[in-house]
Amino acid sequence: MALKSWLEGRWVEGTGAPSPLVDPTTGAQVAEVRSGGADLGAALDHARRHGGPALRALTFAQRGAILDGLAALIHANREELIDVSRTSGGTTRGDAKFDIDGAAGTLSWYGHLGKKLGDRTFLLDGEAEGVLRSKRFVGQHVLVPRHGVAIHINAFNFPAWGMAEKAAVAWLAGVPVLSKPGTATCALSVRIAELWVESGLLPAGAFSLLTGSIGDLLDHVGPQDCVAFTGGSETGRVVRGHPAIVRHNVRVNIEADSLNASILGPDVEPGSDTFQMFLNDVTRDLIQKAGQKCTAVRRIFVAADRVEETVEALTDRMSRVVVGDPGEKGTEIGPVASPSQHRSVTAGIAELEKVAKVAWRAEAPGGGCFVTPTLFRADGADVPYVHEHEVFGPVATVLPWSGDADELVQLVSRGGGGLVCSVYSDDLAWAGPVVLGLAPWHGRILWGSAKVHDQSPGPGTVLPNLVHGGPGKAGGGEELGGQRGLSFYCQRTAIQADRGLLDRVLGKA
């Protein structure tokens, strides 16, 4: 099956040498993409001339209704999409549902936000403020949709959710989208795009999909465009430094590597609700999506005098994990998504074996893209490779620390900034300063305690109403966050005028 792009309102089959896509479970080819032949400058121009004006003419409520319709399409075709996810990404049924339901849920959430924002086409940012001593001459900040294209360069690990969560925010803001999915798993993105296009819910030019290589796409960006990238930090730096992006001061949001940490507080006793929450969250992060989540825990910090019992509890829990064919009932970990991902994770495991001991390792099938899920244990916390390199698979390392809160914050910060950190403790006096000390280094922190042990979806779940992103190595970006997310696709402008005239123009009178 040749996967096509949706550009300028038509399906376009690429030219040039094919790139084969394989079923990660069997290694058999399931599709191919060809990257040449598309006029990407014309594709962006089409979106600006047609999609932008059409979306800006709609109210938030109307845009939200479109998002609700797109979510319903995903839900109605859920079983078919789960099957596509399994054959193209090697996902278990549970992992496929996590991705697909996350896509539908985020679209629905932003659809509801559109209904709340109502019959407006732009947003007011705060209240009008007086200028100098005049009572009539005021200034009012407004947020209006930019007249460009939201260019979304997505990662391979969430071909449904990743595409939908970025698009939902841009469309609600009133900006057309060109989505570039990760090639290895793009069959699922393409199938969802086909459903959306066939529905006719989106205005012409509001949505474009580019399969294969990004080509010269960024050469054609302009000053009103926005670029949101998810992927490796090295590629993120290339995107941010692209000459056309620098020349036009194009807005760029980067989500990159993240050495997420899980911290077990020294007060937490084995068998307690908080300890069980910690075990559940760490195990889920190792299992879910075969560890291929940007929010998965990579470093597990445990007080030195509690390491033995904690590792024993973790290995006992994970010893029951089933690794195998994702199509078989009961399988919890399938293969990683592609041959290149298999090479990367295998190489990372080999490097970790040089600096840490294997505390637990599952047996994995041979062939395909299967790797060996592994929990490592370091003798000390000063292990540079663990703090500097993310192994993007079912792999994590337990690191001992002395129990000093300030030392802990310094150790965690060696990751250079992360998307999420989780702290498990019922000791307010200890946990409070730790959480606030870690805050400058993370986009999100989960504080697990006995009071919420049965209420949290875990640190690895990205929520549409809370910001997603992180400082430093994690990219320095910020996405989602409810209404906050719209601002990336809008221009904040201060309009200074007579209060009466301004109120009438802005619909306040």
* Catalytic (active-site) positions: 255, 294
How far apart (Å, rounded) are the C-alpha atoms in residues 55 and 105? Answer: 22
Tokens coding 89 = 């990404």
What is the phi-psi region of residue 361: left when phi exceeds 0, alpha when psi lies from -120 to 50, beta otherwise?
beta
* Degrees, nearest 5: CA angle 292-297-298: 90
How far apart (Å, rounded) are the C-alpha atoms in residues 162 and 159? Answer: 6
How far apart (Å, rounded) are the C-alpha atoms in residues 365 and 368? Answer: 8
Residue 143: strand, helix, or coil? strand
First to last CA, the chain: 57
Contact of 481 with 465, CB cutoff 8 Å: yes
Strand partners, 421: 261, 445
Dihedral pair phi/psi, residue 145, rounded to 5°: -65, 140
Tokens coding 410 = 């310094």
How far apart (Å, rounded) are the C-alpha atoms in residues 56 and 54? Answer: 6
CB-based contacts of 61: which residues, under 8 Å, 6+ apart? Answer: 114, 115, 117, 118, 119
Question: Which of 297, 295, 259 is closest to 386 using CA atoms?
Answer: 259
How far apart (Å, rounded) are the C-alpha atoms in residues 444 and 308? Answer: 29
